[in-house]
Structure 1
Amino acid sequence: MSNLAENPQGSGKKPNPKALTPILVFLILYLGTGIYFEYIHPQDGQMGFYVMSVVVAFGLALIVAFLQNPSLSFDEKIHICAKGIGDDNITIMLFIFLMAGAFSGIAQEAGGVESTANMLLNIIPGRFAIPGLFVISCLISMAMGTSVGTITVLVPIAASVAQTAGFNLPLCVGTVVGGAMFGDNLSFISDTTIAATKTQGVAMKDKFRTNIKIALPAALITLGILLGIALSGGPARLGDYPFNIGLAIPYFAVLIMALLGTNVFVVLGVGIILFLIMGGLCGSLTFASAFSSMGSGTTGMFETMIVTILVASISALMEEYGGFEAILAFIRKFSHSRRGGMMGIAFLTALMDIATANNTVAIVVAAPIARTVSAEYRIPPQKTASLLDTCSCIFQGIIPYGAQLLIAAKLSNLSSVSIIPWLFYPFLLLIFVLLSILFDGRKVISENKGGSKD
């Protein structure tokens, strides 16, 4: 059997489980310290999983990777890392992160998020405030490209709505978290979307078309459940929320352009220009505050960019040492079909997110292996990108130690665990992901398992 049949990329490397040691080191450091400082020895005013910086953990893991395989010189290992970092998709991803940070920074400074959310709240009848919160959080998250930002803005509003109308507070907060994860998963400017599509070399619109077939049914059923809860409750009256329609226009423009499949650089560039114009006209931005906020926004993306560079380096070294082949050998052992390959990608991504509590990091770590699995089992790259993004967002939205639930709990004075039963959307999305795999129309047998069937 040829090496190409064993490895579609033609590396011909032997499986070497020891090459995966850097990831094991990272998981022990990051997950271990996170559990210790979150549940055993909590630190006042600090989330346990953020005591150990993810950058430091990956930095130490990279040192371990360099110490392995003494047959290669230090200079040769640097060259391998440089090739991994210099990949076209990694470079594009880094540039998009910078622009997304600038957009997020100026949008927040202008007050666009609050205006958009308040405008939509004023339109929705009080009785349907809970399903309205879900729709609003979906739209805001798609426009902003960040679930954490959406939760930070909308959970205080959801808490106010719950108090004013007498609604169940965990339900209102869980509704916002679910909607935020919907937008994070589908937004063209979300770092998870950027990471998933660029690492698989697919257009965002193609991933969106594949993704929406899974996400939309889950969202519609969630909306139906929330409508049923709203209709079974009594009438509610909400207050008036101040808004400026001019500051909402840039978000809607960005959302429409993204849905039309416009190039992400154009979408972000137009969004920044619109906020500059509308923020100036509405008096919420000055020349100084506009450019200062864009600088702060890009600075906020630096950790994600550094993690991307570190993971690209570690992944390149692990691949060179035969680590990827070890994981592929494991997947081949239990996955004899295209469905099995997709299930392997989904499981790997979920495991990485549970371990790292960061959906973007989970995607970046799992992506190189997922791409190889995708090639071997003839899984369309847009499907692989969809699985990476969706599975990471599902588990990021339901783990009680993830940033999303921790921030939501802090802002609403709840425990993160108390919100989990009300996370209808993430659990429904998980069901639809599994159904999309189980009822996949094409059965492709891996070549190294005895031929292929289309």
Structure 2
Amino acid sequence: MTELKRDKGSAWALFPLLVFVMLFIGTGILTRDFSSMPLNVAVIIASFIALAMNPKEKFLKKVEIFTKGAGHPNIMLMAVIFILAGAFSTVAKGMGAVESTVNLGLSFLPANLLMVGLFVIGCFISISMGTSMGTVVALAPIGIGIASQTDISLALAMATVIGGAMFGDNLSMISDTTIAAARTQQTQMNAKFKINFLIVLPGAIITAILLSILTRGNVATVAGDFHYDFIKVLPYLAVLGAALFGVHVLIVLLGGTVFAGIIGMIDGSYSFVSFLQTVAEGIISMEDLAIIAILIGGMVGIIQYNGGIDFLMNFISKRIKSKKGAEFGIAGLVSAADIATANNTISILMTGPLAKQIADEYDVDRRKSASLLDLFASCWQGIVPYGGQMLAAAGLAAISPLSILPYSFYPILMGVCGIVAILIGYPKTKKSDKIAPQPAALPTAEDQLTD
């Protein structure tokens, strides 16, 4: 394959990115708390360092470059999607959708398949909610209750919850990781879902089998009256169905929020005013991530202008000799970013533009590159003991995150499935399907984007 011609670039231009990553590692080691460095503070520090570099360039020029990268139409669209996803998730939770969905599943669980059922419920909730953290918080108390009434290990129960949460985080059409992966690779989210699902499905099946074997002798039941209203599950089903049919994500999220609000007002969960207030709370809950995405867009714009992206492309291109090598390169990039930042969305935002260039140069299917970004970011997010999901589950269960690692079957199997998919070229795609129709203004590395 003919290699794209590009400048050699500058390794020094990557210094702001190095600072951004080291702020997490250094602060985490010093404080023994890898959540002690707020993402927004880290990216602001790194952004100011980026603006301070290249002193020969006028500061106003650098500010212009920064704002162009931060304010690209696709970055703005992503920010709107993030806050609408927060609105839907909060409104649905407030009207009882999470509780009803959990109880619906628990009501039909066979006594000897509690962990399998917990994993399946986690998969459904996370793919419906689009948030692994929300799923962990919703299901961890149920997992703790199951463990307390059986001889099932508490660490196994928490690992099962995390596994189910990461399934949907990787696949949900309203997950910020899916949004970021699909947009950076310029592919449709429903198209990415189909490829991604085929890759990770074996891992989910094997996880269910392992959980069944490990808990085979347990016939205890979970006490309690698991009341549910099926009508409260409908917003999740509607959002999932509309997204799978390719309805634009803005319409899906806005419609889902209104639908959940109407059900809430009918059953008395909301008044019109409280519904609006809940929408505002959901928007606020995602504002931080939207701002981080905008700032990273500006920072990477400066890094690219100074030659950092060209340097990385040359560095990686010299080591990539084939299409499979390109896919492993994409997987390695996002894996390293997630291990460093313990945030799968941010790791995709950081590496997405470079992954897009690699995919284009080595003829990697855009759906496949988006799937690899999301898959490997979510894989490591479910394994690193200082990740938010692991810390939340361990904290609620009052156990060490390290005790959960030996039972982290699904996150590990996600990575294994991804590696196998690269090695055997799975799934096979038709050449005519590789490039899906796209809106006019979508991100490229040349546009100095980071989404």
Cα-to-partner distance string for 1:262-311 (whole Å, 9 max, x where unaligned)? 22122212211221111112222222221111111111111111110111
2:160 is equivalent to residue 175 of structure 1: yes
- For residue 34 of structure 2, give the secondary structure of its aligned residue in structure 1: helix
Deviates more, 1:277-286 or 1:318-327: 277-286
TM-score, normalised via structure 2 length: 0.91
Task: Give the distance between the partners of 1:185 and 1:419, measured in 2 at CA.
Answer: 20
Alpha-carbon distance in structure 2 between the residues aligned to 1:163 and 1:290: 36
Q: Runs (4+) of structure 1 moved beyond 4 Å? A: none
1:118 equivalenced with 2:103 (yes/no): yes
What's the offset of the Cα at 1:83?
2.3
In the TM superposition, what is the alpha-carbon distance from 1:364 to its structure 2 partner?
0.4
1:31 aligned onto 2:16: no
Verify the 8 A CA contact 1:159 1:169 in the aligned structure 2.
Answer: yes
Work out the CA distance in 2 between the residues paired with 1:285 and 1:165.
37
Match status 1:19 vs 2:21 = no
Q: Quote the Cα distance in structure 2 between the aligned partners of 1:270 and 1:165.
A: 41
Q: Is the 8 A contact 1:315 1:368 kept in 2?
A: no
Q: Which stretches in structure 1 are left out of the alignment for 5+ residues? A: 39-47, 443-454
Q: How far apart in 2 are the matches of 1:347 and 1:292?
A: 42
Alignment check: 8 A CA contact 1:250 1:275 kept: yes
Tell whether 2:413 aligns with 1:428: yes
Q: Higher RCO, 1 or 2 (CA under 8 Å, sep at least 6)? A: 2
Aligned to 1:412: 397
Paired position in structure 2 for 1:363: 348
Percent identity of the aligned residues? 41
1:66 matched to 2:47: no
More displaced stretch, 128-137 vs 277-286: 277-286
- 1:224 aligned partner: 209
Residue in 2 that maps onto 1:134: 119
CA drift of 1:111 comes to 1.7
Over 3 Å counting, the alpha-carbon distance change for 1:5 and 1:73 in structure 2 is: farther
* 8 A contact 1:127–1:237 mirrored in 2: no
The 1:72/1:240 distance shift into structure 2, 3 A limit, reads: same
- Whether the aligned pair in 2 keeps the contact of 1:109 and 1:289 (CA below 8 Å) is no
**What CA distance in whole angstroms lies between the structure 2 residues aligned with 1:406 and 1:235?**
28
| Unpaired runs of at least 5, structure 2 | 429-451
Deviations 1:84-131 (A, max 9, x none): 123332122111011101101111211210111111110112221110
User: Structure 1 CA distance, aligned partners of 2:221 and 2:150?
Assistant: 5
Give the secondary-structure state (helix, strand or coil) at the position aligned to 2:84.
helix
Query: How many matched pairs?
Result: 427
State the TM-score, normalized to the length of structure 1. Answer: 0.91
**Worse overlay, 330-339 or 349-358:** 330-339
Give the conservation status (yes or no) of the 8 Å contact 2:195–2:371.
yes
Among 228, 253, 262, which residue is 1:243 paired with? 228
- CA contact 1:338–1:377 (8 Å) conserved in 2: yes
Kindly state the Cα deviation for residue 161 of structure 1 after the two structures are TM-superposed.
Answer: 1.4
SS of 1:94 mapped into structure 2: helix
Match of 2:388 among 403, 422, 426: 403
8 Å contact kept, 1:181–1:394:
yes
1:410 Cα deviation from its structure 2 partner: 0.6
* Distance in 2 between residues matched to 1:394 and 1:435, nearest whole Å: 14
SS of the aligned residue for 1:51 comes to: coil
1:238 and 1:130 mapped to 2: Cα distance?
15
Mapping of residues 84-95 of structure 1, within 5 Å: 84-95=69-80
